[in-house]
A and B are shown apart, each in its own frame.
Chain A
Amino acid sequence: MLEINNLHAELEEDSGVKILKGLSLTIKPGEVHAIMGPNGSGKSTLSYVLSGRDGYEVTEGSATLEGVDLLEMEPEERAAAGLFLAFQYPVEIPGVGNMTFLRTAVNAQRKARGEEELSAGEFLKVVRAKAKELQIDAEMLKRPVNVGFSGGEKKRNEILQMAMLEPKMCILDETDSGLDVDAMKLVSDGVNALRDAGRSFLVITHYQRLLNHIQPDVVHIMSEGRIIKTGGPELALEVEENGYADLMAEAQA
């Protein structure tokens, strides 16, 4: 599904500030991978580089989605190809209704894939059902995108977008941060409901707790722009107990 090979990226502005330093990762269809790693190790940067945000320059390496070069595409093309990023910090857009935003996004992707646009009625039906599962009320759907939403509401709204867009490759950047226990359950249920053989997940998190709900197949530890260790779910437990110090020392040795 997603194949990242020896990816190097640096900031476009302060060139010389290298953030990703030879990152490799392969996620097969249907798999859930988790990435853990200290603050500032480059996890969000990886998600931005994959989704095509301005400001980063890839100096080496490759990233492909189902064999197609991601790095050559515009962000909207990557989305239409099936990539989805649940933002660590969802963006507020005053003046654009959440519903308009969702419908524009869904129909833009359908159009890009040569599918027919959803009618207003069909769209409404689907959105209402999915919103209900995430306990997002009608009021929140009407409000401008993320404006005045609490931290947890913003994260649930990200998952609603994911559920509506039905991407193939979902990257969740700290979707668990800012969630209370119940919301974490809701969000995890939302994610688990989307798990299937044709869809993969890359879950960035600091906490093992989320991984109790969304059970990963593979766990990666990232440090200073690289994956320093890859293992099974037990790796997350090890981090939870001992922190990163041992793993980092081991990697340097």
Chain B
Amino acid sequence: MMPRAKLKAQKVEAANALLDGRALPQGGAWITRARSDAEQRVRDMGLPTKRDEYWRYTDPRRLTSADVVAGALHDTQGEAPAFDAFDRVKLVFVDGVFDADASDPMALDGVEICQLSQAAMTDLHWARDIYGALEARGQSPVERPLASLNTAYATEGVLIRVTGKPAKPISLIYQRKSETSDAMVHHVIRVESGAEATILENGPFATRFNQVMEVDIADGGTLHHIRAQGRDHERAGSAHFFARLGAGSHLKSFTLTANGALIRNDSVIWLDGGEGSAHVAGATVGDGAFHHDDTVFITHGAPRCESRQVFKKVLRHGAVGVFQGKILVDQIAQLTDGYQISQSLLLDEDAQFLAKPELEIYADDVKCSHGSTSGEIDSNQLFYLRARGVPEDTAKTLLVLAFLAEALDEIADPAYAEDLRARLEAWFERRG
């Protein structure tokens, strides 16, 4: 084992090497301060390495290297992108750069939307209290230097303030058109008291992406977040989702991931006010050279809140799935109801699932449970279906979709769940 101090010195050295000589983007006073603070955080923490506690199962080098590993574009053979059939406000990013021509006007009753690049030029903006602030808070107790790196250097993204109940979802669409793009995108979402909105995200993003979304939900606010990270085999990236919830507010965040060389999704959630709820769920399908990591940290910081983590992964042909999930219950958070389940279905012997479920509880009157399983398709169920005349491939697809259903059920609106379910079905049918 390398001594701690030496390891830390190496991490810091790597961060300095990456950042020295790299100028922060131009901007107004508020963002310049946020960016330089964040840059300092990266230098203080150093870059992540596989020796860090929460990078043990996933090698971050591809996410921290100076150069991007080139990746061929993926041909989806005419399959319509996720959410295509829904009426929504479309905001398109191509290789991480906002494309105004391809996007809808940023006008919708009950929401204010503006680009980060424009807000950054102002001297004062409502996002000031959130941009980089939730990310900074999320550095303890677990360091997340990639997110600070993003706060310091991202110039793209949108700032969304939800003041009412907009009639349509806001849809962030990430297209990849380059084999070497390296994208950094930073969004901020503020849901005002009593407001409610749905944010959709879909698309492969970029050859390499580093995304941060900071979400601040005021008392009684509700946010639905549905993300479809697919379909692209050769991209790699990391997405951080930081969310702070006020009293009586609700969050539902769902992520579908289909393939990708390396995808790391961190969700860091604080239940700051009483009687709030946070549900984070994910369905992942990986075939071949695929490494997918869900790392979730939910802090119950107030009484009578509910949290759920439901993560399901279907893996084959050497695909690797990682789940690291923690429920932390502060002393004050009595009557917490916390639930966590992570399960994998391994379709062959080459696939691998690594799970690290954790509970840390300082309150005495709580209900918390967690479970993690890894298994294969149930041979009794498969035989039962086949004995009724269902061909083996169809039967397997049915069982795999049934396995993923518990995660999809976490999406509040069944129309979105059905859209994603149909994609998963097609994904399996293409493979047979």
Interfacial residues, chain A to chain B (CB-CB below 8 A) = 51-54, 74-76, 78-80, 85, 87, 90-96, 100-101, 104-105, 108-109, 112, 144, 161, 165
Partner of A105, one of B389, B401, B405: B389
Q: Is B402 an interface residue (CB 8 A)?
A: yes
B387–A79 CB distance below 8 A: yes
B283: shortest Cβ distance to chain A, in Å? Answer: 12
| Given contact pairs A74-B392, A104-B394, A108-B391, A93 touches B386 in the complex (Cβ within 8 A) | no
Q: Is B383 an interface residue (CB 8 A)?
A: yes
| Given contact pairs A74-B392, A91-B381, A93-B381, A51 touches B387 in the complex (Cβ within 8 A) | yes
Contacts of B381 in A (CB 8 A): 91-93
B398–A104 CB distance below 8 A: yes
Chain B 386-408 interface residues, beta-carbon cutoff 8 Å to A: 386-392, 394-395, 398-399, 401-403, 405-406
CA A105 to CA B386, docked complex, whole Å: 9
CA A53 to CA B395, docked complex, whole Å: 15
B384–A76 CB distance below 8 A: no
Q: Is B380 an interface residue (CB 8 A)?
A: yes
Contacts of A105 in B (CB 8 A): 385, 388-390
A95–B402 CB distance below 8 A: yes
Interfacial residues, chain B to chain A (CB-CB below 8 A) = 379-381, 383-392, 394-395, 398-399, 401-403, 405-406
Extra contacts besides A74-B392, A78-B387 (20): CB < 8 Å: A54-B383, A74-B386, A75-B383, A75-B386, A76-B387, A76-B391, A79-B387, A80-B389, A87-B384, A87-B387, A91-B383, A92-B381, A95-B405, A95-B406, A101-B388, A104-B390, A104-B398, A105-B388, A108-B390, A112-B389
CA A193 to CA B386, docked complex, whole Å: 25
Contacts of B379 in A (CB 8 A): 54
Contacts of A79 in B (CB 8 A): 386-389
A156: shortest Cβ distance to chain B, in Å? Answer: 16
A76–B399 CB distance below 8 A: no
B402–A76 CB distance below 8 A: no
The 6 closest A-B pairs by CB, nearest first: A95-B402, A79-B389, A105-B388, A75-B386, A109-B389, A91-B384
CA A105 to CA B398, docked complex, whole Å: 11
B386–A96 CB distance below 8 A: no
Contacts of A161 in B (CB 8 A): 388
Contacts of A95 in B (CB 8 A): 399, 401-403, 405-406
A93–B383 CB distance below 8 A: no
B373: shortest Cβ distance to chain A, in Å? Answer: 13
Main secondary structure of the interface of B (DSSP, over half): helix
Partner of A76, one of B380, B390, B401, B403: B390
B284: shortest Cβ distance to chain A, in Å? Answer: 16
Contacts of B387 in A (CB 8 A): 51-53, 75-76, 78-79, 85, 87
Contacts of A91 in B (CB 8 A): 380-381, 383-384
A130: shortest Cβ distance to chain B, in Å? Answer: 15
CA A252 to CA B274, docked complex, whole Å: 77
A76–B383 CB distance below 8 A: no
Q: From A161, which residue of chain B is reached at the shortest CB distance?
A: B388
CA A91 to CA B406, docked complex, whole Å: 19
Q: From A96, which residue of chain B is reached at the shortest CB distance?
A: B402
CA A78 to CA B406, docked complex, whole Å: 32
Q: From B386, which residue of chain A is reached at the shortest CB distance?
A: A75
Q: From A80, which residue of chain B is reached at the shortest CB distance?
A: B389
B383–A53 CB distance below 8 A: yes
CA A74 to CA B389, docked complex, whole Å: 9
A52–B384 CB distance below 8 A: no
A165–B389 CB distance below 8 A: yes
Partner of B388, one of A53, A74, A144, A165: A165
16 intermolecular pairs with C-beta atoms under 8 Å apart: A52-B386, A74-B392, A75-B383, A75-B387, A78-B387, A79-B387, A80-B389, A91-B384, A93-B384, A95-B406, A101-B385, A105-B385, A108-B390, A108-B391, A109-B389, A112-B389
Partner of B389, one of A76, A90, A96: A76
CA A161 to CA B387, docked complex, whole Å: 11
A154: shortest Cβ distance to chain B, in Å? Answer: 11
Contacts of A109 in B (CB 8 A): 388-389
Contacts of A78 in B (CB 8 A): 387
B398–A96 CB distance below 8 A: yes
Q: From B390, which residue of chain A is reached at the shortest CB distance?
A: A108
Q: Which of A75, A80, A85: most chain B Cβ within 10 A? A: A75
| Given contact pairs A54-B379, A108-B394, A93 touches B389 in the complex (Cβ within 8 A) | no
CA A80 to CA B405, docked complex, whole Å: 28
A53: shortest Cβ distance to chain B, in Å? Answer: 5
B390–A93 CB distance below 8 A: no
Contacts of A90 in B (CB 8 A): 384
CA A79 to CA B389, docked complex, whole Å: 5
Contacts of B384 in A (CB 8 A): 87, 90-91, 93
